[in-house]
Amino acid sequence: MKILLFGGTGNIGQRILNEALNRGHEVTSVQRKPELLKLKNANLTVVKGDLLNEVELPALIMGKDVIVSAISLYTGLTPEQFKKAHQNLINALKGQQQTRVIAVGGGTNNEIAPGVRMLDNADIMSKIPSEYYPPIFAHGEVQKFYENSGLKNWTYFNPAAMIQAGERTGKFRLGTTNLIADKKGESTISFEDYAVALVDEIENQQYLGQPFTIGY
């Protein structure tokens, strides 16, 4: 499968890149600074590009089966730039609606009750440092962008409440909008297993036109 990946050097993006290559997919990694991606692989092409450059996007996505956005709000992008990047991608995909897009989401988009996301709950948000609020709410808005885009081939993949480096176990649970937590109430996932599930979704197409989530 031909994958176009944005954010391939980030914590999540590099795991997605490795997982996809290890399964034999052809990956084009779009980098603002291509020299930062040192990985070499016969199925990897590295090109210079930026989701904020809306003029170049239609040509970049042409001929690809799926676009993966793993861009991060913690690598220099402002919340407004993050939202603009995704809006640019949505606009480009409206002219190529056969192409799928999977976007890396935010854990606080998950619901703790019907229609109540973590980011909507004042008690939960009071326990989170206020400097994280702008990226949290940006993720909430971007998911709405996709839901209201008119596109059919989108997927917004929200991680567990806590995502961090760990092991690739291949053992996890998936859901749609509800937060996945264990018996202790903890909601966690490793970068590695998140990447496994995302590439599974590329291959299996189980969550078209909706968000989904993951946890142990």
Q: Is the pLDDT of residue 75 over 80?
A: no
Residue 88 contacts residue 125 (beta carbons within 8 Å): no
- Whole-number percent of the chain with pLDDT over 90: 95
Q: Give residue-wise pLDDT tens across range 15-28.
A: 999 999 999 999 99
Band of the pLDDT at 178, cuts 50, 70, 90?
Answer: very high
pLDDT, residue 173, reads: 98
Band of the pLDDT at 76, cuts 50, 70, 90?
Answer: confident
| Dist. CA 164–CA 44, nearest whole Å | 25
Give, as one character, the DSSP assignment of residue 184. Answer: T
Per-chain mean pLDDT for the chain: 96
Q: Give residue-wise pLDDT tens across range 118-135.
A: 999 999 999 999 999 999
Where do we find the tokens 């949290």? 136
pLDDT, residue 73, reads: 86
Residues, the chain: 216
CATH number of 2-215: 3.40.50.720
Band of the pLDDT at 192, cuts 50, 70, 90?
Answer: very high
Higher-pLDDT residue of 21, 38: 21
Q: Is the pLDDT of residue 158 over 90?
A: yes
3-state secondary structure the chain: CEEEEECCCCHHHHHHHHHHHHCCCEEEEEECCHHHCCCCCCCEEEEECCCCCCCCHHHHHCCCCEEEECCCCCCCCCHHHHHHHHHHHHHHHCCCCCCEEEEECCHHHCEEECCEEHHHCHHHHHCCCHHHHHHHHHHHHHHHHHHCCCCCCEEEEECCCEEECCCCCCCCEEECCECCCCCCCCCEEEHHHHHHHHHHHHHHCCCCCEEEEEEC
